[in-house]
Structure 1
């Protein structure tokens, strides 16, 4: 009996052990996690969680009626909607490449509740169909971020901007500001720039473009050219820029009749003509550019010629006043008529190779009192400086901006 007892004790303990292991294990209530609700998504004034959302882009050939029809809205209903909203928004003018959003009900009918058309990243139009047809125009919330930048030019302004990770729009704007003072065809290695500017952001994160440039300095041939935004043009509404002495940066004439290209041939009294194969005077400046590049008038004036000849091809001639006249040759298409008044920067035609031309370019010709001259050798008039009564406010405004620019450090080449 004494020998059997130890074996019995081992068996009993084993039974107790395995019985404990077989008991079901349950998690404490505190460990049971509640199912997470999806985040609430809001856009265009709607809670997107309440709808089936369709996002797409207008394609070439698309129409408002076709898009709505493909989403279950009858042609008759589309006509009714178009008639009701046409005074605020014309659906026939939707543009290819623009984004749109359609909100549908979540039930089996998937009835269209709203159509949102985005004119750009910020502006949009809502056509709300839920109760009655209501159209409204709105904007996404935009924040402005102030920034500074500096850089050294090694080949071109746009390349220097790109090297600093800056937007090409910023390079375009700088070229616009300085186009009356600086010949960008003569920009050289070692020229430098400093900028104070503002950018637009949607929801504080999505870049939405350049807001404005507050101040800039472009050092060209070791000469600093300052630019400070102050006020707006009374006619165009565009911002005006002045140098540190309150002189307007805008000149009576632009430096060139088109943007960002190269000079293929300058004004000269002796040049071998590539078509006629003989030596003759070339009384113009040729700007090579891709076909279709916009050509603008370099100053305000009246169109006195808009025609075609065998040598000039399609051309436009503008009289600016009794002293100055300009002409633009070899256009692929003319954009103005005789007698039409044009303002500086208006598009008067497009680059082509009509007439005696070997490739796409515009030949820019310049007259002073009826005599053809080289515009780059003329002392051309500037626009009026800032009014004396405005100068105290101007100097007070630019003083901290100039100090901020001067304190910015150029990066070494």
Structure 2
């Protein structure tokens, strides 16, 4: 069900995503899962006098050593760093480095949100065994020791579904400020501008009184919001023209006539072709443990200083420097697609910057821990890595003929939903089909 109005929602009001931040040294707080005071990870037992102090059989249960595996909990706060967290918990920096090595294909530890729960587990001998964290209410990650010098990454994902809300507004001043007033986030505004910028000039062609309606999808578990959102439909009406974009089941966006609203992607991020030195392989085995250790992208044998281009229009989502991945850039290409570029030598973009297809974003290099210069390139679709050499990518094509009728039905229904939501207050409508992933 969709409740329409100035800021309307399906089902319930949902939490906004937390702001990611780069970690630096900060505040420590910890507690033991067995409710014992933690110091150097070993439970402290109050000493007794008399026979009971030396005869375990005479000790009351309340003072017997805890048998549970010691666990340290930490809630990430502004200014925290993994290095300080590990030091305070009694885990070695060597183990943190081993975990960062296991994280090189995921970069899940590069930025942690305030409020993220970390759990460090030790065995009875005090050896660090596992780091666990919750990325959001639906996704958790563990790094588990599988050998003396090796940790294994594992991600757990709960079932989720999408619910939608309709936001509407009118232009008074800039589109950015008008959209903020309607309840849209900065990231959502950037996505809308990216979807429609090839249809109109947001700075020059909008006038006071022009209106817009947006269907925002919110990802939820059975009981909680994950904080993840997506643009499911947008309609912007100006003068006698209407500009639209609809997310379809193939993960691409089309206008009301079934024409792609985004330009074609480049297959690779370099002007020239280079030898693939390592292929995408989700089933690659670790040479030491024999366990699955995927390679989530392709490695191109590029010399240091090779220009690296964005493969599509997008917004720079992350710029970082990982001890194993080296200097890297993440680009969000509008809800469905993201790309990642690792081992860079020099970066020319900043977080939040909009980039065009074919725009130079960096020079390739040899940063991080690698044996030779190369560019590691990844393509993610719907939050999952896919083979960039073979995956279906936006090609500026129309909706396939076999799916056109179904697309038209979805587009007409969503237009009706946005129209009703923009014209009447508190009108309850049937839920929108959001099964696009």
With the length of structure 1 as denominator, give the TM-score of the two structures. Answer: 0.46
Q: Which has the higher contact order (CA 8 A, sep 6+)?
A: 2
Structure possessing the higher radius of gyration over alpha carbons: 1
With the length of structure 2 as denominator, give the TM-score of the two structures. Answer: 0.44
Question: Which has the larger helix fraction?
Answer: 1
